[in-house]
Chains A and B, each alone.
Chain A
Amino acid sequence: METRDLKPFHYIRPESLQEAGRYLASEEAVKLLGGGNTLLLQIRSGQESPDILLDVKHLPGFGDVRYHHNQGLKLGAAVNLQHLVVGLEIRRHYPLLHQTAQKLASPQVRNRATIGGTLAWASPISELAAAMLCYDAVCHTWSPRGHREIPLAEFYLGDYQTALARDEIITHVHLPPFPNRTYGIYHRQTVRHDGRRMIAGAAVLAYRKQQALTHWRIAVLGMDNRPKRIPDAEAVLEGTPGEAEIARALEIVQEQIHPADVDYARADYRRASLNALLKQAITEVIHHLQSIRS
């Protein structure tokens, strides 16, 4: 016998956005259900007690994956994270996304976790967010008031808050196309080596235009109340960064982060860890891009 440990709610699988909108407009406590990896835990712990769960995984277009070399990548909100590991278009054109997803949680979790649910989760240690931030992802949403586009860089408001309205649904995410000579790296330090208990995480990306390394992206995890990029540090690296630029970029990062003490790692230690990871990632990106034959 298994003990039933979820408090009662109504599970509803809407057929269309309009139908979902009607529920969202009602008086009841409605939560959208993606893969449930976060939501079911919140319900079990009493943090959430919804009356209605709207399963958005079957809405039209939510499972779509489309890539076009001029238009970039469109990922439906219900696409699961395992697709980022196995999808050929992802491996080929967005390798940082592939690399990050491969490290994220377990096959069991990735097979269920959705793009929409994971982005909406808004945790400061969301690894998907780090990669998506590097690729300039834009969230496309729908609410009874219409469609919206929210760049991911503006999506996270901190403390698990997002720019989503109460009745707003992520429909898909869009990533612009990236030139071939783009390279990205994600490094993390966690207490357990499968990723549990994050001390620090850093994703770095850039591409090479002739001899210059440009379009630098630095996203850090666990360093603030949200996943975030550090544009000031990115700017320092434009061109042909040497030791001094790297040192300066690292310095700026340290100035602009505010890690918290957690029970398994102090803030000063998390800073040091991030610094080491970031230095390594930047160096590797430079090394890799410079080694490509022109």
Chain B
Amino acid sequence: MKHHISFTINGQSMELTVLSHQTLLEVIRNDLRLTGAKHGCSTGECGACSVIMNGEVVNACMVLAPEVDGTDILTVEGLSDGEELHPLQKSFIDHHGVQCGYCAPGMLISAKALLSRTSRPHEEEIREALVGNLCRCGAYADIIKSIQVASRARR
């Protein structure tokens, strides 16, 4: 079954025809060719596909495309302001928040969602906010540090 959906993504309005059984992850990676969000499992376990939907972080592999109608989506591509990197991105670069980097877009998205709720999170709050994002390289310590430093640098 086809659906005509309209939504905003990274600040741009978008109209698209999608199928009932497509996922948000398929739409952004295949149809919109935004490949920042990654596929890691399809079971909601890894968070590599994380995006922000109406202000909240969700696993894009667990959202159906027609559900996206009327929503506001932010992917990692929408984090930076043109050429200017988001403070989180800068901090991940400066503090080794990336090893292989496959988890990084999802981590950034989770961090962004956290910082929009809690401007100066404690280490414990950051750990809790990241439990849905697996990093096989084990870069958690530096990811947490990157987020902490970025949150302190803001204002």
Contacts and interface: CB of A to CB of B under 8 A. Distances in A.
The judgment on whether A and B are partners is yes
A36 B63 contact: yes
Q: Most chain-A Cβ atoms within 10 A of its Cβ — which of B30, B39, B117, B132?
A: B132
A10 B64 CA distance: 11
A106 B113 CA distance: 13
A46 interface: no
Contacts of B62: 35-37, 40, 108-109, 112
B67 A55 contact: yes
A6 interface: yes
Contacts of A212: none
A219 B117 CA distance: 32
Nearest to B3: A11
A110 to B, nearest CB: 9
Given A82-B56, A111-B58, A8 B19 contact: yes
Interface of A: 1-2, 4-11, 13, 33, 35-37, 40-41, 44, 53, 55, 82, 86, 102, 105-109, 111-112, 194
A113 B18 CA distance: 23
Contacts of B59: 108-109, 112
Nearest to A55: B67
A55 B71 CA distance: 15
A2 B29 contact: yes
Given A2-B25, A53-B64, A108-B47, 9 more contacts: A11-B1, A11-B67, A37-B62, A41-B43, A41-B44, A55-B66, A106-B131, A107-B113, A194-B131
Given A1-B30, A4-B26, A111-B58, A13 B132 contact: no
B26 A11 contact: no
Given A107-B132, A108-B58, A2 B26 contact: yes
B19 A36 contact: no
Interface string B15-43: 00001111101100110000000010011
Given A2-B26, A4-B21, A4-B22, A111 B39 contact: no
Contacts of B53: 111
Nearest to A36: B62
A194 B140 CA distance: 14
B20 A10 contact: yes
B149 interface: no
30 contacts: A1-B29, A2-B25, A2-B30, A2-B39, A6-B21, A9-B21, A11-B1, A11-B20, A11-B21, A11-B67, A36-B62, A37-B62, A40-B64, A41-B43, A41-B44, A44-B42, A86-B117, A102-B128, A105-B132, A106-B131, A106-B133, A107-B129, A108-B44, A108-B59, A108-B110, A111-B53, A111-B57, A111-B58, A112-B58, A112-B59
